[in-house]
Amino acid sequence: MKIGIVCYPTFGGSGVVATELGIGLAKEGHKVHFITYSQPTRLDFFNENLFYHEVDIRSYPLFQYPPYELALASKMVDVVKYEKLDLLHVHYAIPHASAAVMAKQILKTEGIEIPIVTTLHGTDITLVGKDPSYEPVVTYSINQSDGVTAVSGDLRKDTLKHFNITREIRVIPNFIDLEKFKKQRKDHFKTAICPNGEKLIVHTSNFRKVKRVDDVVRVFERLVDTIPTKLLLVGDGPERAHIENLCRELNIYDDVRFLGKLEAVEEVLSVADLFVMPSEKESFGLAALEAMACEVPLISSNVGGIPELNIHGVTGFTSDVGDVEEMTKNALHVLSNDNLATFKANALARAKEFDIAKILPIYESFYEEVVAAVVSTSS
């Protein structure tokens, strides 16, 4: 099949999922055309089945805000027409789904029927999408897509609750390339960070308020008081300066390392003992799945799609948002020498259920279903 993939090409989870999906499809022999405003971060190698089309965004003194959505829709029209695509798969509703719907309508006037699949990732629904400034367009573009998927059952439920949806939403969970995340211990790194055999706690995120990195620090403050531990904070974003100050105020700065944005996050995860994800909202929690694939158990909040991944009492524990006391108690339980090996093994076993080898065929058969339905209604 010839598939166009539209996504955010940056570090965000939706862009990572879209890029890994495209790479996986290309390995299966599909021709995959990425349509984005810059080269997706993980698309840094040559494969004969992978293509990249950059969206040209022209500015003009009249435009206070250059109309990216129009440039994207025009590029989609071009690529569908000249590369003879069979399907467009857009990741993150805003503005990708509405641009795809516009491209679909333009192509229809030229006698071309292009099926559109929209994947909802989370904040496009739970934070930004349901804001009145976007809601009507998001609702329309979901309803006008030929196939819609959500990355968790909870996101599907949330979408149906907050939008007037007239079509089916299929749940296809996020996935991981287990081969890539296979434990590749960097023991020298562990020794450098934890010279006295301390336990290593890790958090990775984009340091936005919704991630509640404060809670990670507050859990760590309590842990370090009880057992020897170190904390690694990976990623960067608007809350970082505040978190650094908080660590100084709490007098734990020397036990915390800020690593910034990392490409090979698996190298850090491979030596971690516990991952903390206390988010206020999280449709899936791809970062947590990456940790589990490296045999790292989880302490998390119980919101959104997280409990569909982190099985309470098995792969770690889930708690109410902000309950740092309970999170600390659970963290101590997981980290105890009697329990840690079992939780680690359980985390890896759960991650295996989300291996790309299991999820990719689900996308492929969904594409076939959507294309067949569009062909049958248009003929």
* Contact positions vs ligand GMT (CB under 6 A): 12-15, 17, 92, 121-123, 126, 151, 174, 206, 210, 281-286
Nearest CB to ligand GMT, comparing residues 252 and 305: 305
Tokens of 210: 């919704």
Nearest CB to ligand GMT, comparing residues 4 and 12: 12
d(CA 306, CA 304): 6
Q: What is the DSSP string of 298-347?
A: EEEE--TTGGGTS-BTTTEEEE-TT-HHHHHHHHHHHHSTTTHHHHHHHH
Nearest CB to ligand GMT, comparing residues 262 and 340: 262
CB 46, min distance to ligand GMT, A: 26
CB 8, min distance to ligand GMT, A: 6
Nearest CB to ligand GMT, comparing residues 126 and 139: 126
Radius of gyration from C-alpha coordinates of the chain: 22
CB 376, min distance to ligand GMT, A: 30
d(CA 62, CA 45): 39
CB 293, min distance to ligand GMT, A: 13
Helix (H) or strand (E) holding 171: strand 170-171
Nearest CB to ligand GMT, comparing residues 206 and 270: 206
CB 122, min distance to ligand GMT, A: 3
- At a CB cut-off of 8 Å and minimum separation 6, what does 175 contact? 17, 20, 21, 289, 354, 355, 356, 358, 359, 360
Nearest CB to ligand GMT, comparing residues 6 and 224: 6
CB 42, min distance to ligand GMT, A: 13
C-alpha dist (Å) from residue 215 to 212, 251, 292: 6, 16, 20
